[in-house]
Amino acid sequence: MRWIRRAAALLILALTLTAEASATGQPSLAPMIARVGPSVVSVAIQTEGTVDDESLLNDPFFHKFFGLPEDATQVRQALQTTGSGVIVDASQGYILTSYHVVENASSIGITLANGDAYAATIIGTDPDTDLAVLKIRADGLTSIEMGESTELRVGDYVAAIGNPFGLGQTVTLGIVSALGRAGLGAANYENFIQTDASINPGNSGGALVDLDGKLVGINSAIIGPSGANVGIGFAIPITMAKGIMTQLIAHGEIKRGQLGTIIQDNNFDLAAALAVDTAAGAVVSEVVPGSPGAKAGIIPGDVVVAVDEAAVRNAAELRNMIASYPPESVVRLSIKRPKESLTITAKLRPLEAAKEPAPPASVEGEGLLSLVTLTAVGPESDAYGKTQGAFVAAMSDRSRAAAAGLEAGDVVVSVNRKDATDPQMVVDLAAASEAPLLLGVFRDGHVRFLVVK
């Protein structure tokens, strides 16, 4: 009941704030929906699969008596699922939708808001962002107006338009609950808009619009029991989707550029240890030799705070931004260093041409590394042959290093941004340093920073 009361209050407030009015003079979203609705379509997908036959053939005795194979009850038949899509180019018949909606489709049908139906072909797909572009041949289509998802704020009102459960076009209202959501496992490149506007199965690929009816996102994912809506839905920002759509239409595939750096989220401890004036951005923990980043002059410890003047809040955002550029693109990176801000220009190279990082040979730790035992990197380490530094052979759970996140099996490769190629160098550098201690740690094939204090 609390959720119902909250939804009712939200609806009343949104309608009160809406500038447009219905024919009766009452505040209403209806005029906006009337404009936008024709741009949102239903997508019906035919796939082939196996289903259990519930007839007599399913009886084990029948199997045995007639000598039938155990899988005889599996019957191949066409299966149909539904989703949504958004008309983004009326003259060409291009429709933007989610990749998982059309994945493994043997045929695709599009139904417009007025009921007209057409067959669709796939122009291109990008599983890494869960996006796809379809095409239909039809006259009199209505394109949606593109918005700017970068201008969204938490608390802004949005409406989700789609085809939930195959019921037909449906509109739900809510707010932007959060921005820049990542780590959901829904796609390789994630930067989701989170909303409490109801998004249910079948809404995927539909439109998330602002109160002006401008497209700000493509509905994509749900978090909830059995896929049911519980007020947490996610949409792909249209700023991200537009770049993918443009490449899919032009080439039928996505070609991504790469900078050649390993990055991690910045935070207050790292900012203090790196002597920079911001806790936002992405910290460069490693630079691949010979990569565009290395050629441009990026060094470990740099904090990237913007790409082409677009702010970078965290590592996932930087990764998504770089991946949105095609190879050979030239990007301007705003960098923070101790007592210095600078702009670095880098020319990206193709992602497929990138090499795996080549990351940076027994003593007891002292000071901030007390209760830590360091050895040379030997064959027992996964890092053997990959890096030089100090292998963490053992450590106490009571140590400051453990509290900072250092683990047995890690390899310490730098101390306060100074390379350390053996255990004694790590101990000496740590002993000569005051708190906090910035360690470069090689783990799972990559380097990250830890702050020991």
> Which of these is catalytic: 39, 42, 130, 285?
130
Give yes or no: 226 in active site: no
> Which of these is catalytic: 100, 126, 381, 422?
100
Residue (of 54, 141, 148) closest to 91 by Cα position: 141
Give yes or no: 130 in active site: yes
> Which of these is catalytic: 204, 220, 291, 334?
204
- Residue 128, amino acid: D
Give yes or no: 204 in active site: yes
Active site residues: 100, 130, 204
